Amino acid sequence: MHFSHTTPAVPAALTIAEAAARLDAFTVVDVRTPGEYASGHLPGAHNVPLDRLDEASAALRAAAGRRPLLLVCASGARSAQGCARLADLGAPAATLEGGTGAWAAAGHPLERRAGARTPWPMDRQVRLAAGSLVVAGFLAGLALPAAHWLSGLIGAGLVFSGATGTCGMAALLARLPHNRPGRDALPFEETLARLTT
């Protein structure tokens, strides 16, 4: 277990084994898109997408006042970003190393609504979109050499994403309809209310 330098009472990261041993001691917050969340999440997790953390800061601070927060995403990258953002907002949180992918691979259950759609994880969506744009730029560049710049720009964006831990393409893809809440999803306001009680 790795501890944060600013708030020693809240671990910076939990392994799968540590989280499984005391999951009920945490308020679990899944920061993936609503579509990803619907495809399967840790038992009892609340869905607060990464791009809505600021909007949910008061509810998350209230929840953190009762029990420590554990942020979860597909791999741990977005939840680590969320932890950094919440620390700035006064709500310290831990991240789950390896995310829901590692949780499920270790044989732990995921909750999902019956009949829920299952979009691809965001990292896979980003790889498909980026790869498609690189191939399109390469092929278009055979007829129009200036089109090769598209491939170069996508490559530069991926380097920037890797260096900074942010991803503009993921932020754009998260707005697509298949990544938005389904009709039967819990309204965001209800999630916030549950976090404050």
Rounded mean pLDDT for each run of 10 residues along the chain, 197 residues in total: 44 92 96 89 96 94 95 93 92 95 95 70 82 90 88 88 79 76 78 90
Report which DSSP code applies to 111.
Answer: B
Task: State how far the Cα of 24 lies from the Cα of 154, in Å rounded to an integer.
Answer: 42
Tell me, what's the pLDDT at 2?
45
Quick one: DSSP state of residue 26?
S
Model pLDDT, residue 16? 97
pLDDT at 178 (0 to 100): 74
Three-class SS of residue 97? coil
Question: Contact 170/122 with Cβ under 8 angstroms?
Answer: yes
Which amino acid type is present at position 188? F
Can you read off the two tokens belonging to residue 58? 């008061």
Nearest to 15, CA basis, from 82, 107, 103: 103
Phi and psi torsions of 118, nearest 5°: -125, 85
What pLDDT sits at residue 8?
40
CA atoms of 36 and 39, how far apart (whole Å)? 5
Rounded alpha-carbon distances, angstroms, from residue 160 to 37, 155, 169: 27, 9, 11
The pLDDT value given to residue 4 = 40
Q: For residue 168, what pLDDT is reported?
A: 82
* Distance, CA of 99 to CA of 162 (rounded, Å): 18
| Parallel/antiparallel/unpaired status of strands 11-14 and 2-3 | antiparallel
Cα angle 193, 195, 197; round to 5: 70
69-72 and 27-30 beta bridge pairing: parallel
Q: Catalytic site residues?
A: 73
Question: Is residue 158 packed enough to be buried (19+ CB in 10 Å), middle (13-18) or exposed (0-12)?
Answer: middle
Q: Which bin fits 90, alpha (ψ -120 to 50), beta or left (φ > 0)?
A: left
Tell me, yes or no, if the pTM score tops 0.95. no
